[in-house]
Amino acid sequence: MRQRMLGFFSGFPSHHFPFEIAEKSKNALAERERIVFVSAWPEDYERNDSDLEGMYEMFTEQGMDFGRHRVIDSRAEACEAAKEIREVSTLVREGRMQPLFAGKA
């Protein structure tokens, strides 16, 4: 799969994509087999599960349904997380910028 960065943005206080971002995303994300959200809070499972559903809803309300969606946090084994990331059609990095799974090999 050809990988490229679509955008780098943060903070949708209304919890909805602005029209321009939704339209660009619909066009750019033509392949919608699998979306994976990588958490910035790998130990906060309740938050991650809630954010997963909330973020995914932002895509679906704009007509961007994916065949599968999940969050990667510390519940995932490193080899499982790496495989998921290699095979995604869309990857979303959630939260503040920090090294992924800092201190874990």
Domain-located, residue 78: yes
Domain-located, residue 26: no
Q: Which domain holds residue 59?
A: 32-93
Domain-located, residue 7: no
Answer whether 54's CB lies under 8 Å from 16's CB.
no
Which of the listed ranges 15-19, 35-39, 71-75, 93-97 does the model predict with the highest average pLDDT?
71-75
> What pLDDT shows up at residue 65?
95
pLDDT tens, residue by residue, 40-92: 889 999 999 999 999 999 999 999 999 999 999 999 999 999 999 999 998 88
Domain-located, residue 104: no
Domain-located, residue 41: yes
3-state secondary structure (DSSP) of residue 9:
coil
- Structurally, how many domains does the chain consist of? 1
Mean pLDDT score, 4-16: 69
What are the backbone angles phi and psi of residue 29, rounded to the nearest 5°?
A: -100, 60
Domain-located, residue 4: no
Domain-located, residue 79: yes
pTM of model > 0.85: no
